[in-house]
Structure 1
Amino acid sequence: MRCHTPGVMLSRRWAGFLVLVGVWTWVIWPRFGKAIWDDPRSWHGDTGSPTSFLWIHALLIGASLTIGTVVGVLGIKGFRAAARDRD
């Protein structure tokens, strides 16, 4: 499905910025997830089951990765559209 929003322009510089934000998200959040996984507050000591600390952070990390992916994809699409307009 193709849609067009009249009057919306995204420069190559801004599109590149959005791509970098997407990449940055995928560099930072998995490392943070590893740190949360290794944190003793993430697990009940006696049963080894996950705590709400782990679940909340997993939800935040998942949401951030989703948003970062969407922003990166929009940046790629904007970059390609800007390149087509230059030709």
Structure 2
Amino acid sequence: MVLSRRWSVFLVLVGVWTWVIWPRFLVAIWQDDRAWDAAGHPTAFFTVHAVLIAVSLIIGTAVGVLGVRGWRAGRGS
């Protein structure tokens, strides 16, 4: 499959957007009172959101890499 330049740019932008938004969300979750119990241990609230963030960053990275690869493949033609 060959990606057009527009789709490649879109995928790269989605990857960048993911890396701009999700780390900021992690900071917000980290600072939320619901993230830690009285003993200072992470709660289920924190764990669920941390997994969500990690998976989103992995997917965003994969999408961004596909966009870069599509862009590079388009340069050769």
* TM score, norm. by length of structure 1: 0.87
Letter in 2 for 1:73: V
When Rg is computed on C-alpha atoms for both structures, the one with the higher figure is 1
Letter in 1 for 2:47: W
For 1:71, the equivalent position in structure 2 comes to 63
Output aligned runs, 1:38-49, within 5 Å: 38-45=31-38, 47-49=39-41
Gaps of 5+ in 1: 1-7
Of Structure 1 and Structure 2, the greater helix share is in: 2
Q: How many angstroms apart in 2 are the aligned matches of 1:13 and 1:60?
A: 28
Letter in 2 for 1:80: R
Percent identical pairs in the alignment equals 62
Q: How many angstroms apart in 2 are the aligned matches of 1:11 and 1:82?
A: 7
Q: Where in structure 1 do 4 or more consecutive aligned residues deviate above 4 Å?
A: none
Q: How many angstroms apart in 1 are the aligned matches of 2:5 and 2:40?
A: 49
- How far apart are residue 74 of structure 1 and its match? 0.4
| In the alignment, structure 1 residue 19 sits paired with structure 2 residue 12 | yes
- How far apart are residue 33 of structure 1 and its match? 0.3
Letter in 2 for 1:26: W
Letter in 1 for 2:25: F
Letter in 2 for 1:30: P
Letter in 1 for 2:2: M
